[in-house]
């Protein structure tokens, strides 16, 4: 990895005129007076705040839109033609935290490094210039360090860490290296390294929430029939909010929508949630997971067992967006700690 440092104000010379720019924008305040941020398009750096704590939604939607047309059929006489379009415009996303970037790295595994690479995802991913930034302080009940997503080593173009009046910059791609030629940078010094490590240690020490996950693949298997699932499942409203805000939930459904004049039909992919009632329903009406508890369990099972078996790491990045967004107050750390306690009893 190549490193540089940039003076903070110099960094804002960095601008992509032809790109759609996305960054953390303040959109309001919550009941406690805390600002609410979302990743939204911006036209000037004044509109975004790189010192934000966290966003309500992840930036997933810019790679996996909630709704997208996979292909269109047009009908003529007794025949049809299928049209597929993968185009996506160049985009700059700035201000992704380590959890978001680790989320993208995990999605890369699912959509790029498999038997059937997904062209829709790959096109968006390749056309997006990702600038990440380290968190200054841990977010509310975030447990990223427990799942190893508090640091990033790849999956970005540039990655910034605030070290006082300068940014410590990790360069993750050749296009980022070229982009940096246009602004004033400095090679790193021993002192910069020191400041970087200090900033990181300060963050790590600040993380209060920890949860044990390395034993979960085994534990989830043993506790498959545990009462813990019923306890949390009874609270679950099966609304799917957790999956919508999650940086890594990628399940979807495909439906076809026919135009009013019957000349055209669109095959539309819509992100889904395994907590929704009909997720595992098959033709004829049988539902393999009819109760909220089995669906909730499945979500944890997929994140902490299935994904670990396939890729050697949990799917969860510990951002706790689902925990904060849950209308029923279900927090992933509570569910996991409950399971761990169950084991001790």
Partner 1 sequence: MKNIMHPYDVRHETDMVEPLDFNRRSRLKEVDRCFKAEITNVIRLTDMEKLFQIRMVNDKDWERFVFLPGQFVMLELPGYGEIPISFSSSPSIRSTIELCIRKAGKVTQALHKAKRGAIVGLRGPFGTYFPMERMKGNNILLIAGGLGLAPLRAPISFVIENRADFEEVHILYGAKEPSQLLFDYQYEEWHRIDDINLEVIVEQPDKSWIGPVGLITKLLDDIKMPADKTYAIVCGPPIMFKFVCKRLSEMGIPMQRMFVSLERRMHCGIGNCCRCNIGSTYTCLDGPVFDFWTVMNLKEAI
d(C-alpha 17, C-alpha 135), whole Å: 27
d(C-alpha 113, C-alpha 110), whole Å: 6
Tokens coding 207: 């993380």
Smallest distance from the beta carbon of 210 to partner 1, in angstroms? 25
Q: Identify which of residues 49 and 266 has a Cβ nearer to partner 1 in the complex.
A: 266
Q: Identify which of residues 97 and 304 has a Cβ nearer to partner 1 in the complex.
A: 304
- Contact positions toward partner 1, by CB under 8 A? 15-19, 70-71, 73, 75, 78-80, 82, 84, 86-87, 89-90, 110-111, 114-119, 122-123, 126-127, 129, 175, 178-179, 182, 221, 224, 250-256, 258, 262, 265, 267, 272, 274, 279-284, 288-289, 294, 298, 301-302, 305-307, 309-310
Q: Identify which of residues 130 and 139 has a Cβ nearer to partner 1 in the complex.
A: 130
Smallest distance from the beta carbon of 111 to partner 1, in angstroms? 7
Chain centroid, CA 308 distance in Å: 17
d(C-alpha 324, C-alpha 37), whole Å: 13
Q: How many CA atoms lie within 13 A of 257 on its CB side?
A: 11
Q: How many CA atoms lie within 13 A of 269 on its CB side?
A: 16
Smallest distance from the beta carbon of 78 to partner 1, in angstroms? 7
**What are φ and ψ of residue 165, in 5° steps?**
-90, 0
Identify the bridge partners of residue 29 per DSSP, sorted by sequence position.
35
Smallest distance from the beta carbon of 90 to partner 1, in angstroms? 6
Q: Identify which of residues 113 and 344 has a Cβ nearer to partner 1 in the complex.
A: 113
Q: How many CA atoms lie within 13 A of 255 on its CB side?
A: 7
Smallest distance from the beta carbon of 143 to partner 1, in angstroms? 21
Judge whether 339 and 226 are in contact, CB under 8 Å.
Answer: yes
Cα dihedral sign, 144-241-252-337: positive
Q: Identify which of residues 64 and 135 has a Cβ nearer to partner 1 in the complex.
A: 64
Smallest distance from the beta carbon of 184 to partner 1, in angstroms? 16
Three-state SS for 184?
Answer: coil
Tokens coding 243: 């999956």
Q: Identify which of residues 126 and 191 has a Cβ nearer to partner 1 in the complex.
A: 126
Q: Identify which of residues 235 and 267 has a Cβ nearer to partner 1 in the complex.
A: 267
Smallest distance from the beta carbon of 138 to partner 1, in angstroms? 29
């Amino acid at each position: 990895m190549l490193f540089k440092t940039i003076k903070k104000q110099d960094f804002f010379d960095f601008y992509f005129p032809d790109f759609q720019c996305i960054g953390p924008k303040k959109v309001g305040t919550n009941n406690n007076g805390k600002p609410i941020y979302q990743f939204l398009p911006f036209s000037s750096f004044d509109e975004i705040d790189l010192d934000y704590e966290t966003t309500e939604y992840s930036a997933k939607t810019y790679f996996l839109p909630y709704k997208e047309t996979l292909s269109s059929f047009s009908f003529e006489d007794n025949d049809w033609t299928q049209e597929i379009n993968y185009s996506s415009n160049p985009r700059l996303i700035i201000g992704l935290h380590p959890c978001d970037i680790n989320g993208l790295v995990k999605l890369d595994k699912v959509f790029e490094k498999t038997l059937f690479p997904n062209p829709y995802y790959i096109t968006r991913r390749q056309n997006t210039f990702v600038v990440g930034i380290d968190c200054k302080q841990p977010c509310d009940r975030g447990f990223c360090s427990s799942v190893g997503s508090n640091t990033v080593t790849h999956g970005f173009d540039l990655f910034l860490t605030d070290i006082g009046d300068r940014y410590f910059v990790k360069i993750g791609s050749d296009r980022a290296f070229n982009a940096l030629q246009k602004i004033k940078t400095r090679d790193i010094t021993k002192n910069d390294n020191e400041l970087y490590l200090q900033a990181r240690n300060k963050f790590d020490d600040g993380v209060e929430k920890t949860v044990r996950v390395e034993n979960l693949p085994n534990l989830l298997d043993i506790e498959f029939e545990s009462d813990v699932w019923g306890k949390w499942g009874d609270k679950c409203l099966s609304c799917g909010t957790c999956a919508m805000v999650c940086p890594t939930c990628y399940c979807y459904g495909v439906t076809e929508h026919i135009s009013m004049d019957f000349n055209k039909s669109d095959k539309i992919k819509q992100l889904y949630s395994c907590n929704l009632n009909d997720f595992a329903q098959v033709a004829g009406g049988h539902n393999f997971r009819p109760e909220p508890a089995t669906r909730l369990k499945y979500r944890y099972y997929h994140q902490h067992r299935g994904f670990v078996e396939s890729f050697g790491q949990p799917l969860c990045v510990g951002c706790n967006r689902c925990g904060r967004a849950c209308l029923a107050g279900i927090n992933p750390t509570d569910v996991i700690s409950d399971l761990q306690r169950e084991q001790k009893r």
